[in-house]
Structure 1
Amino acid sequence: MTCDIAFVSTASAKAIVLGRNKTVVGSYCSMNGRCAYGSCNMGCELIMEAKNHLNGSSIGPNVKLLEGELSAGIGEYKMGKDVLLKAMGLGSCVGVVLYDQSTRMAGIAHVLLPGASSDGKTKHAETAITTMLEDMVSNGARRRHICAKFAGGAQIFKHMSLDILKIGDRNIKSVEETLAKEKIKILATDVGGDMGRNVLFNTIDGSLIVKYSNGELLWM
């Protein structure tokens, strides 16, 4: 069963809406926390506009359909254009997005460990970022236009104080160092803390959605 994904953008808010069989099954709204409903409600204008578009009853100028979603598992990266990219269940791991706005080609890496890999596998930050960068360029991205956003690197087990166990901090530092080495501009980050995260990247407008383990959302 396929899932349609609609992106709604108005002057006041944005939303990613997931629909199946003409029914809204999930949504991520930039008004979360400021909405009078407290969370996305089926009566919300954004949700209604997306729903009407998904079921074919209305073609609104504020709605664009994404072509699907790709999820990077631990130590993997995914890339595409006009899709929703995801890295789910980030604890000490870091979700790194590289994005070329001129072509809308983007990639997301689910980084597990700092440094470079001796076997070429993409679970390490440096190897993941450089491999994904090369793959994006070979598929049409323009290197000079590529920028980055990333989130994660939490210290889930707060009672562990040994530096060797602070893998989240080490992952963050390794990601930052690799991006600096590759001369890739960092546009936004959300790192550290003690909460897990899911991250979703919308390749249509370049927005990164961070959903924390407590249910709160951050758009950046």
Structure 2
Amino acid sequence: MSGDILFVSNGSGKAIFLTSRDVLVKSFCSLSSTCSFQDSCRSCDIVSAAKNHLAGNKSNLNIKNLDGELSAGIGEYKIGKNVLLKVMGLGSCIGVILSDASTGICGIAHVLLPGASDKGETKYAETAIEKMLEEMVKMGARKSRITAKFAGGAQVFKHMNLDILKIGDRNAISVEEVLNRKNIPILAKDVGGDTGRNVIFNPADGSMIVKYTKGDVLWL
């Protein structure tokens, strides 16, 4: 989808708008749980500010433009600067975000399995985090300023009690262990349960947006 990606915030809430030809087509809003319109964006101060911005008018709300979006598929990671980062359809997988707020460089990985890979496969937690970290530093990120957030790790086989099948729990543990070994502060996490998630990272304010398949939305 071509168009602007806007981040709009005020004292009561914040939202990301994906636009096409100056029309708001999708949103992720921190007020969605209390809004009667949900994601349809009928009318509010935040929506009005976004529409005015697209029309070239000034607004008294905080508005920032993002430079596009990147989505990491299973076993992939993506790195960018001032771009919306996404991993979609997480079940037992983990979406891992690394971010250096001082440079704006950030990355997101779609981790499938715990541990490391001898072959350098980034579907494994340790390998994905190490490669993403290394590439971010090469791009100019400052390792001492990098922080992490992650979400996912649902129990897909919720009726199974064998530890070997609890891949979501094992993924979450593996990700946290790697981040701790790398001395990367974990600012937020949302793991476990039995519900799938989509994870979005907003570099404009460092928010990890977790949208559950059942509809609930968290801004962390």
Distance 1:196 1:204 in 2: 25
Retained in 2: the 8 A contact 1:32–1:40?
no
Q: How far off its partner does 1:139 sit?
A: 0.2
Task: Return the letter of the residue paired with 1:59.
Answer: K
Give the match's secondary structure for 2:109. strand
Q: How far off its partner does 1:39 sit?
A: 4.8
- Asked if residue 158 in structure 1 is aligned to residue 145 in structure 2, the reply is no
Give the match's secondary structure for 1:15. strand
Paired position in structure 2 for 1:213: 213
Distance 1:16 1:86 in 2: 13
Paired position in structure 1 for 2:129: 129
Q: How far off its partner does 1:57 sit?
A: 3.0
Retained in 2: the 8 A contact 1:201–1:207?
yes
- Which deviations, in whole Å up to 9, do the C-alpha atoms of 1:165-195 show, x marking residues without a partner? 1100000000010001100000000000000
Give the match's secondary structure for 2:187. strand
Give the match's secondary structure for 1:95. strand
- Asked if residue 141 in structure 1 is aligned to residue 141 in structure 2, the reply is yes
User: Structure 1: which 4+ aligned runs deviate by more than 6 Å?
Assistant: none
Task: Return the letter of the residue paired with 2:208.
Answer: L
Task: Return the letter of the residue paired with 2:80.
Answer: G
Task: Return the letter of the residue paired with 1:180.
Answer: N
Give the match's secondary structure for 2:179. helix
> Matches of residues 70-149 of structure 1 in structure 2 within 5 Å?
70-149=70-149
Paired position in structure 2 for 1:177: 177
- Which deviations, in whole Å up to 9, do the C-alpha atoms of 1:131-178 show, x marking residues without a partner? 000000010100000000000000022112111111000000000100
Paired position in structure 2 for 1:200: 200
Q: How far off its partner does 1:38 sit?
A: 4.8
Structure 2 unmatched ranges of 5 or more: none
| Greater Cα shift, 34-43 or 202-211 | 34-43
Distance 1:36 1:215 in 2: 14
RMSD of equivalent CA atoms = 1.2
Distance 1:192 1:178 in 2: 18
- Which deviations, in whole Å up to 9, do the C-alpha atoms of 1:87-144 show, x marking residues without a partner? 0000000000001111111000000000001110100000000100000001010000
Paired position in structure 2 for 1:57: 56
Distance 2:42 2:56 in 1: 16
Aligned residues: 219
Distance 2:17 2:38 in 1: 17
Q: Percent identity?
A: 61
Retained in 2: the 8 A contact 1:73–1:87?
yes
- Which deviations, in whole Å up to 9, do the C-alpha atoms of 1:32-75 show, x marking residues without a partner? 21235455532121112112212x33133511110000000000
Retained in 2: the 8 A contact 1:19–1:51?
no
- Asked if residue 190 in structure 1 is aligned to residue 190 in structure 2, the reply is yes
Retained in 1: the 8 A contact 2:152–2:191?
yes
- Asked if residue 23 in structure 1 is aligned to residue 23 in structure 2, the reply is yes
Give the match's secondary structure for 1:48. helix
Q: How far off its partner does 1:11 sit?
A: 1.5
Name the TM-score, length of structure 2 as normaliser.
Answer: 0.96
Retained in 2: the 8 A contact 1:42–1:48?
no
Task: Return the letter of the residue paired with 2:68.
Answer: G
Q: How far off its partner does 1:21 sit?
A: 1.4
Distance 1:101 1:50 in 2: 24
